[in-house]
Amino acid sequence: GNSVTQMEGPVTLSEEAFLTINCTYTATGYPSLFWYVQYPGEGLQLLLKATKADDKGSNKGFEATYRKETTSFHLEKGSVQVSDSAVYFCALSDSGAGSYQLTFGKGTKLSVIP
């Protein structure tokens, strides 16, 4: 079956530090990959996506590249801000296998301190 594994948190960084949150996946087909972000007290919202191998998703300074050879989709940002403090979820959609579900990782909590 499909699964997503992301690094355990929490992660605490100082403002302007470099961020990497690792994510690897297992899928039966050719999935689309997503990063969702959840700010305190809110629902999840899509941060970025990639639909095929070697695609790079980017938004708000965050980037992630779909690496089929390593089955990875690591999230990076060059300089984090306090406002980036949130929980980040890696997810995949394997509709090629006939399912329109999203399979989520457990989430990584990021705290950015001034």
Q: Is 77 in the site for another protein (CB under 8 A)?
A: no
Stretch that binds another protein, among 7-15, 17-25, 49-57, 72-80 (CB under 8 A): 49-57
Q: How far is the CB of 23 from another protein (least distance, A)?
A: 14
- Write down the residue that tokens 């499909």 correspond to: 2
Neighbour tally for 3: CB within 10 Å: 12
Q: How many residues bind another protein (CB under 8 A)?
A: 24
Q: 33-68 as b/e, with b when 16 or more CB fall inside 10 Å?
A: bbbbbbeeeeebeebbbbeeeeeebeeeebbbbbee
Q: How far is the CB of 98 from another protein (least distance, A)?
A: 10
Q: What is the DSSP letter of 67?
A: B
Q: Is 28 in the site for another protein (CB under 8 A)?
A: no
Q: Is 61 in the site for another protein (CB under 8 A)?
A: no
Cis peptide before 114 (omega within 30 of 0): no
Q: Is 40 in the site for another protein (CB under 8 A)?
A: no
Q: List residues binding another protein (CB under 8 A).
A: 30-32, 34, 36, 42-46, 49, 51-52, 89, 93, 95-96, 99-102, 104, 106-107
